[in-house]
């Protein structure tokens, strides 16, 4: 198995916990799965931010790298603060925004050098956002705002 195939398998497999936890959280008395979903989401956000950080270090310097480097360090801090201090619904909105911003930063830094990666990241980001919206539905129907 080549490296690109393994990267794709691992990337797509990472969606399984998002969908499993968000769908099962729609059942009554499974509220603890919401917390596990958020912990998993923070882990993935930190991973993506770290990947962005590494890409910013390895790729040739651009004039606006400073902002992207600051953002790649700030995203996990915002997610952690959100995990500790905000309601479920607001957390989902914040996480969705961070996922979108990380994707945009990835796309900006990769440019045309990594089209297969960016296409995969778009698909993964869209599905992670969908799973967050499914969880938002579970939260709203169970009155857990």
7 belongs to a structural domain = no
Of the chain, the end-to-end C-alpha distance in Å amounts to 45
Per the domain annotation, does 10 fall within a domain? no
Residues of the domain holding 109 = 20-141
Domain count, the chain: 1
φ, ψ of residue 14 to 5 degrees: the values are: -65, -15
pTM above 0.85, yes or no: yes
User: DSSP characters for 35-89?
Assistant: HHHHHHHHHHHHHHHHHHHHHHHHSPP-TTHHHHHHHHHHHHHHHHHHHHHS-HH
Is 64 domain-assigned? yes
The answer to whether residue 72 is domain-embedded is: yes
Inside any domain, residue 90: yes
Q: Is residue 9 part of a domain?
A: no
- Per-residue model confidence as pLDDT tens digits over 111-145: 677 788 889 999 999 999 999 999 999 888 877 66
- Inside any domain, residue 108: yes
Residue 63 has pLDDT above 60, yes or no: no
* 8 in a structural domain: no
């Amino acid at each position: 198995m080549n490296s690109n195939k393994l990267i794709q398998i691992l990337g797509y497999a990472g969606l399984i916990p998002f969908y499993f936890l968000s769908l099962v959280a729609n059942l009554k008395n499974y509220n603890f799965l919401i917390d596990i979903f958020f912990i998993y989401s923070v882990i993935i956000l930190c991973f993506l931010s770290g990947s962005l950080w590494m890409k910013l270090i390895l790729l040739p310097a651009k004039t606006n790298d400073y902002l992207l480097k600051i953002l790649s360090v700030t995203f996990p801090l915002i997610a952690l603060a959100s995990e500790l201090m905000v309601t479920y619904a607001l957390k989902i909105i914040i996480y969705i925004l961070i996922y979108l911003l990380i994707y945009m930063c990835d796309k900006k830094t990769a440019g045309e050098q990594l089209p297969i990666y960016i296409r995969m990241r778009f698909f993964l980001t869209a599905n992670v956002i969908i799973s967050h919206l499914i969880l938002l539905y579970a939260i709203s129907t169970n009155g857990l705002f």
